[in-house]
Chain A
Amino acid sequence: MSWGDLVAIGGGLLAGFLSGTIGIGGGLVFVPFMTIGFRIAQPLAQGTSLAAVIPTAVVGGVTHLRRGNVRRDAAIWMGAGGVVGAAIGALIAVEVPSSILARIFGAFLLFSAYRIAFPGRPAATEPKVPA
């Protein structure tokens, strides 16, 4: 076991904790942790993050299931729809140049930061129209 492995455990600990508390699935922490911390190329970081997210989500998800926090119908519905999108997204991600993918991811991080800090701020008076 190397120092890198220990640092990875530390990053995982943080990601897992946040996934269990604010439900961000870990990937949002894993990817910048790998690209900025480990200087790993964007697509490799994303693929690795997705692999690491599976057991994290299983553990967090099962804990929540046991506590009755999960709406099963919604989980099935979103999971099924998400599978199609995931396949398309992954096919795009492996073809796009790494630097462009990193920029897209950066924009997504900014958006995520905004969403976390100001959740559900807009559309208080506007009619809610599904996009």
Chain B
Amino acid sequence: MGGLLGGLLGVGGGFVMVPLQVLWARMPQKQANATSLVAIIPIALVAVPIYYFRKGTPQVDFHLALFLVIGSVIGAYFGARLLNRIPERELKYGVAGLLFLAGLKELVFP
């Protein structure tokens, strides 16, 4: 299920996997986040070649991906390091608000 959403929506599938682990496997939130991050790796590895080869024009822009990666590698490093010191609640509410606006935009003006 996480993988299906991952492939379909271009996200890692963490959004299904994390609550699944917390609710049903009773895993602590932090452990669930870390575990889903690892499980995302094979999911993305399978989906990317399909996006690239399945259509006439590749649906993957590696140039753009490279620069996203440069930023995200630095960000991920600091994120993981600061994990224990971050005001998690506030961060989550902020992110939820932004995603809500983005989702609304995509629904109304796709």
Interface of chain B, helix or strand or loop or mixed? helix
**B27→A74 contact, CB < 8 A:** yes
The binding surface of chain A is classed by DSSP as: helix
Q: Check A57–B44 contact: CB distance below 8 A.
A: yes
Name the interface residues of B33-72: CB closer than 8 Å to any CB of A: 33-48, 50-52, 54-55, 58-62, 64-72
- Separation in Å of the B33 CB from the closest CB of chain A? 3
On chain A, the number of residues with a Cβ less than 8 Å from chain B's Cβ atoms is 104
Q: Please give the distance in Å from A12's CB to the nearest CB on chain B.
A: 2
A127 CB to nearest B CB, Å: 12
B41:A110 contact, CB within 8 angstroms: no
- Cβ contacts A to B, 22 pairs, < 8 Å: A15-B75, A19-B76, A31-B10, A32-B105, A43-B51, A49-B65, A51-B51, A54-B48, A59-B73, A82-B42, A85-B43, A86-B46, A89-B4, A89-B8, A90-B46, A90-B47, A94-B50, A100-B110, A105-B10, A107-B103, A109-B103, A130-B24
